[in-house]
Structure 1
Amino acid sequence: MALKVAIAAGGTAGHINPALALAEELKDRGDEVSFFGQPNRLEATLVPQAGFPFFETHITGFDRARPWTLVFALVRMEHAEKQIAEYFEKVGKPNVAVGFGAYVEMPLLRWCHANNVPVVIHEQNSVPGLANKSCAHFAAIVCLSLPAAKDAFRKDIGPETTVMVTGNPVRRSVINASREKGRDDFQVPQDAEMLLVFGGSLGARHLNSAVANMKDELLSRKNLYVIHSTGRQDFDAVKEHLNLTAQEQKRYHIMPYIDSMGEALAAADAVISRAGASSIAEIAALCVPSILVPYPKATADHQTINARYLVDHGAAKLTPDSEIDGEGFKQEVLHLIDHQEEREKMRKAAHGLGQAHAACALADAVEMAQSS
């Protein structure tokens, strides 16, 4: 029987893209998927672009440093639940509701729980957010990207809640990306080696600077091309720092943002990256050898815990942010570039994690919740 599945995901691509990966899998199974999110956030752009119905909800979180903001947040929550109730009265309630974290999920999941609709939540990080922890006690199933999150949920789940590790779903456009097309897109010869560097706009400045300082050593490898995504905020500063000559620009490509991350990863022989949940998932899904530099100010140092999942399985190396200005980091990068056999071992280790099948595993959990 085809299911009607309501999904709430919003705020950042790290929440939205896994939700869209699940939606793609459910759609292929013949299920009907609709999304709930805020009209002024990223989900209002990405979800319609992907071709899924989008219902606008208006919700705000509260600042724990300013407790009085809780009153306004609760008023908006109640209003959003009423809007959702009116919507479901017109179209019929869903068979399952799925939340991907952030406050935008709470009115949908609370209404569904109150109206006997099974709830599934998915946590992308090793340290769960407040919204998912708040909803875990009434969830039928809590799905985790990383085993390390199990302990963090232990006190929050209900007595009948099932907890399972599904991995973090990655969109088909990433998983099906072509190395050949990626090389063409980034103007890298098919027989060259390619290093991909990215960190995003948040917390990437130190990483950008450390890699830029290695420019001469990197370009001394005659067959190496570097694709360096700086984040929009840091592009001008990194461009000035690198001061690339016309000759160097042929093999060191700098850009503020990469739209086609799937092609970039598929084309890469090695990656230097922060350790956000989505980055970890995409790197693992495409089995790219990586050196991970966790963002040191992430909540509860969750990026380090994220990174350890790949590192402990032999699929990545980890360097703390405090050490990337030293000689050790430089030698780690150059060693990975210079030793293909090491990269092959890391690729095999990443393949063994089965991250490319996470969307299927999460869709199975949604079906399980409906039938339980």
Structure 2
Amino acid sequence: MRIILTGGGTGGHIYPALALARYIKETDPNADILYVGTERGLESDIVPRSGLPFRTIEVAGLQRKLSMDTVKTFVKLSKGLTQARKILKEFRPDVVVGTGGYVCVPIIFMAKMMGIKAVITEMDVLPGLANRFLSRFADVTALSFAESQQYLPKARSFAVTGNPRASDVMSVPAERAAEIAKDLGLDPHKKTVLIVCGSRGAAPINKAVLAMLDDVANQKEFQLVYVTGQVHYDKIKAEIDNRGLADSKAIIVVPFVYDMPALLQHTDMMVGRSGATTMAEVLALGVPALYIPSPYVTNNHQEKNAVWMVEKGAGLMLKEQGLTGRALYDTINGLVTDSERLSAMQSAARELGRPDAAKTYYQTLQALVRRK
């Protein structure tokens, strides 16, 4: 099978595509996969490191209001469509897969104009503008959550596949999991709470965490692994040292974790943003989460994700606005020390998880390619 993958702008669009590519190559080493992105997006750095062939096109975000930027968008879109047509003509894919971001628009649209089968992927509960536009052209819209169907009335067909990234956390070798536990100095006899908010961290969450660290240091129920983000690490570490908490066995502070799937094997509760990829990872393992949705994303989609998780009994939510150390500590401690409630949330999360998402997605592609 010849496949073009496209998706960019954020890791939430790129990593699921790479997870799918890994599964396909493991299942069918003869599969030919090309990744199409942009020169300026994260994909231009991440994808080549994965070893996948990578080509670029020009693209600009869709505009919600008419302005001079709208003109610039259409100029770039026209150029992107021409570049997309050239790539499609040269590579001759059996199917094109879009995992999110505006780079998908020229590729998916032109694929349909050329009679090439196409699939788009919606990772969030609330679809973004690009996918709402593309759903009328794609042969299949692959969903992480069945509830998303109501927001895509013009979609031609659906497949609830889950997020392929979920499959990555289920395939961590035991030695990798053991190595990260040793590196971090985790106590196997204590529950582990993981707080992580992306590579750049989040200042309001950092403030709340610092405010609760004395309480964390004085309890014996759990150990806290706090991933600060590179930008904030030095300041937070200095504050911890100044407060005499550096030797606390209950507090482990690191700037970044390169092998998050391995660390999640030891996690009893996660605290972080409610992006689609984060949700896919923790659900696959049945890890309950306290979601603090980012208020800075388009259409407030992270809050929609978090609300959905709370309704399903698989998570809790605290809004960033008004977040305090007391509220954060009480929520974490209240769940970790209530074994019955923690177990119920673990079961709810596991029920929603789709650890076989990559396999299901690939089967969807195979069925589509066979369809006349």
The answer to whether the Cα contact below 8 Å between 1:180 and 1:190 also exists between their aligned partners in 2 is no
Aligned to 1:82: 82
Q: State the secondary structure of the residue aligned to 1:103.
A: coil
Q: State the secondary structure of the residue aligned to 2:125.
A: coil
The answer to whether the Cα contact below 8 Å between 1:196 and 1:271 also exists between their aligned partners in 2 is yes
Q: State the secondary structure of the residue aligned to 1:137.
A: coil
Alignment of 1:38-187 (within 5 A): 38-64=38-64, 67-91=67-91, 93-154=92-153, 156-157=154-155, 161-170=156-165, 172-177=167-172, 178=174, 179-187=177-185
Q: Structure 2 stretches of 5 or more lacking a match? A: none
Identity rate, percent: 28
Q: Structure 1 stretches of 5 or more lacking a match? A: none
C-alpha distance in 1 between matches for 2:111 and 2:23: 22
Aligned residues: 365
Give the superposition deviation at 1:325. 1.6
Q: State the secondary structure of the residue aligned to 1:352.
A: helix
Give the superposition deviation at 1:237. 4.0
Q: State the secondary structure of the residue aligned to 2:352.
A: coil
The answer to whether the Cα contact below 8 Å between 2:94 and 2:116 also exists between their aligned partners in 1 is yes
| Cα pair distance change 1:182/1:287, threshold 3 Å | farther
Alignment of 1:204-219 (within 5 A): 204-219=202-217
Give the superposition deviation at 1:14. 0.4
**Cα deviations across residues 176-227 of structure 1 (Å, max 9, x unaligned)?**
2344333123221322332110112678221222122111111222363221
Matched, 1:193 2:191: yes
Matched, 1:279 2:274: no
| Cα pair distance change 1:187/1:66, threshold 3 Å | farther
Q: State the secondary structure of the residue aligned to 1:148.
A: helix
Q: State the secondary structure of the residue aligned to 1:116.
A: coil
User: Which deviates more, 41-50 or 78-87?
Assistant: 78-87
The answer to whether the Cα contact below 8 Å between 1:284 and 1:310 also exists between their aligned partners in 2 is no
Give the superposition deviation at 1:152. 1.6
Give the superposition deviation at 1:8. 0.6
The answer to whether the Cα contact below 8 Å between 2:192 and 2:268 also exists between their aligned partners in 1 is yes
C-alpha distance in 2 between matches for 1:225 and 1:141: 44
Aligned to 1:233: 231
Give, as a single letter, the amino acid of the residue that structure 2 aligns with 1:144. Answer: L
Q: State the secondary structure of the residue aligned to 2:135.
A: helix
**Cα deviations across residues 71-113 of structure 1 (Å, max 9, x unaligned)?**
222222222332333334434x111111112111112112210
Aligned to 2:256: 257
Q: State the secondary structure of the residue aligned to 1:226.
A: strand
Give the superposition deviation at 1:120. 0.6
Aligned to 2:339: 340
Superposition RMSD on alpha carbons, in Å? Answer: 2.4
Aligned to 2:367: 368
User: Which deviates more, 186-195 or 113-122?
Assistant: 186-195
Q: TM-score, length-normalised on structure 2? A: 0.89
Matched, 1:352 2:347: no
User: Which deviates more, 100-109 or 227-236?
Assistant: 227-236
| Cα pair distance change 1:26/1:252, threshold 3 Å | same
Aligned to 1:299: 298
| Cα pair distance change 1:84/1:302, threshold 3 Å | closer
